[in-house]
């Protein structure tokens, strides 16, 4: 499935299909998720974060779908729809 953003009809919501960078707490709870353009981009962001942030959170790159909401021209991830 190709990476990309697909606009839903008559809505400010869009579907992103591609790689997602997930942030988990040490207890395993999902804190944050961010869409990335490619696996390479996702892994690069993960390396930079892990080298600059000494905390014990776990970062994982996964393929999946996100629901994005557009607010003032900027897109924000709202919900994970599916993970491969």
pLDDT digits (tens, 9 = 90+) for 10-65: 468 889 999 999 999 888 899 999 999 999 999 999 999 989 987 778 999 999 99
Contacts of residue 79, defined as CB under 8 A and 6 or more positions apart, other chains included, come to: 66, 67
Q: Residue with structure tokens 């990309």?
A: 4
Q: What is the pLDDT of residue 1?
A: 40
- Total-model pTM: 0.78
Q: With 70 as the cut, is the pLDDT of residue 71 above it?
A: yes
- For CA atoms 12, 81, 24, 37, give the dihedral sign: negative
Instruction: Decide: residue 1, CB within 10 A, 0-12 exposed, 13-18 middle, 19+ buried.
Output: exposed
Going from N- to C-terminal start, the domains of the chain cover 4-83
């Amino acid at each position: 499935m190709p990476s990309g953003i697909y606009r839903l009809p008559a809505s400010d919501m869009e579907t992103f299909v591609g790689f997602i960078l997930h942030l988990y707490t040490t207890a395993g709870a999902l804190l944050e998720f961010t869409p990335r353009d490619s696996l390479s981009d996702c892994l690069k962001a993960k390396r930079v974060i892990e080298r600059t942030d000494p905390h014990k959170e776990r970062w994982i790159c996964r393929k999946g779908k996100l629901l994005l909401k557009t607010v003032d021209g900027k897109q924000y991830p709202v919900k994970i729809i599916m993970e491969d």
